[in-house]
């Protein structure tokens, strides 16, 4: 696996080594020993989640705070999404900045998102199946969110806002400055 740093400390783009032949392909989606060795981290993923969404579905920007904060390793099983991670670590030099990457079943890239980030994605293909590993269990009382169109963060979601399909909760998330800080 190849691991690339991003301009935001802690966010890592992981590109697996894919073996292809006339039968199709094979690749290791995750190897804890190799991940820990290559990143210098010791992450213990305890929960796997999966969602299926149609074009224009925007999920986010979500995070867990306090003792239920989560690091995530995300990837797309089918289709294509624009994946977004927003740094909400108050003392970070990149607080309020976002990183965007296209994740797809074709490029097989993954994004490691450490604790201290809000996360979201929008589906660019007709449909997408999205999977993520979490290093902590979900806790309803610890969830937080930031509105997807926060003018300070100013995310370019690539597709027209008229195409967005949002949950009521995601339509009502507060602005970055209005949410309880991650720290």
Domain ranges for the chain, please list them.
Answer: 44-178
pLDDT number for residue 177:
78
Number of residues written out for the chain: 183
The DSSP symbol for 165 reads: B
Residue 173 CA, distance from chain mean position: 17
pLDDT in tens, 116-146: 999 999 999 999 999 999 999 999 999 999 9
pLDDT number for residue 55:
98
Q: Which residues are catalytic?
A: 62, 132
Homologous superfamily of 44-178: Jelly Rolls (2.60.120.10)
- Whether 183 has a pLDDT exceeding 80, the answer reads no
- In the structure, what pLDDT confidence band is assigned to residue 17 with cuts at 50, 70 and 90? very high
CA atoms within 13 A on the CB side of 68: 12
Q: What is the pTM of this model?
A: 0.94
pLDDT in tens, 67-94: 999 999 999 999 999 999 999 999 999 9
């Amino acid at each position: 696996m190849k691991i690339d740093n991003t301009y935001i400390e802690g966010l890592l783009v992981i590109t697996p080594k894919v073996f292809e032949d006339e039968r199709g392909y094979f690749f290791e989606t995750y190897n804890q020993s190799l991940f820990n060795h290559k990143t210098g981290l010791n992450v213990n993923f305890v929960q796997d989640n999966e969602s299926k969404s149609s074009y224009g579905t925007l999920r986010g920007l979500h995070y867990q705070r306090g003792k239920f904060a989560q690091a995530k390793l995300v990837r797309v099983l089918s289709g294509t999404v624009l994946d977004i991670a927003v740094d909400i670590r108050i003392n970070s030099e990149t607080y309020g900045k976002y990183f965007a990457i296209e994740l797809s079943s074709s490029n097989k890239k993954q994004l490691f998102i450490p604790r201290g980030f809000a996360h979201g994605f929008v589906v660019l293909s007709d449909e997408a199946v999205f999977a993520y590993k979490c290093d902590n269990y979900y806790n309803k009382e610890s969830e937080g969110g930031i509105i997807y169109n926060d003018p300070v963060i100013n995310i370019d979601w690539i597709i027209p806002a008229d195409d967005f399909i949002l949950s009521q909760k995601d339509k009502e998330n507060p602005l970055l400055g209005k949410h309880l800080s991650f720290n």
